[in-house]
Amino acid sequence: TGVITQIKGRIKLAHYQIQQILNLPEENSSSSSRKQRMYEHCYLVGKLRNFFSLLSCLSVYWSLRGLSVLIFSYAWKKTTTLAVILILLSPVDQ
């Protein structure tokens, strides 16, 4: 559960930072750029919700089967796309 808590904390921090970037006031910003920022924000929120749902389901699996390997990395580009690069699960062999 400690690993899951750390992952959730990192994702929440990344989401907060991206929200701050998206909400920065822009001088001379047009209506279309505001709409684009709003679209990107909604897209990001949707992806994060999907990921947290997946993480909740996997945490049940991890607690039942055991977790031997978890590799997690995230990155975001200027377009504020949050990407889950790799999650590798391997049940404990005993």
Q: Model-level pTM greater than 0.95?
A: no
Task: Output 21 or 9, whichever has higher pLDDT.
Answer: 9
**Residue 77: its pLDDT value, please?**
44
* Cα-based distances in Å from 10 to 6, 15, 16, 79: 6, 9, 10, 19
**Residue 92: its pLDDT value, please?**
45
Total structural domains within the chain: 1
Q: Is 50 exposed, middle or buried (0-12, 13-18, 19+ CB in 10 A)?
A: exposed
* Residue 13 clears pLDDT 70, i.e. is over it: yes
The 10s digit of each residue's pLDDT in 34-91 is: 777 777 777 777 777 777 777 776 666 655 555 444 434 444 443 344 433 333 444 4
**Residue 3: its pLDDT value, please?**
72
Q: Which domain holds residue 80?
A: 2-84
In a domain, 6, yes or no: yes
Q: Which residues of 60-77 are buried (b: 16+ CB within 10 A; e: fewer)?
A: eebeeeebeeeeeeeeee
In a domain, 91, yes or no: no
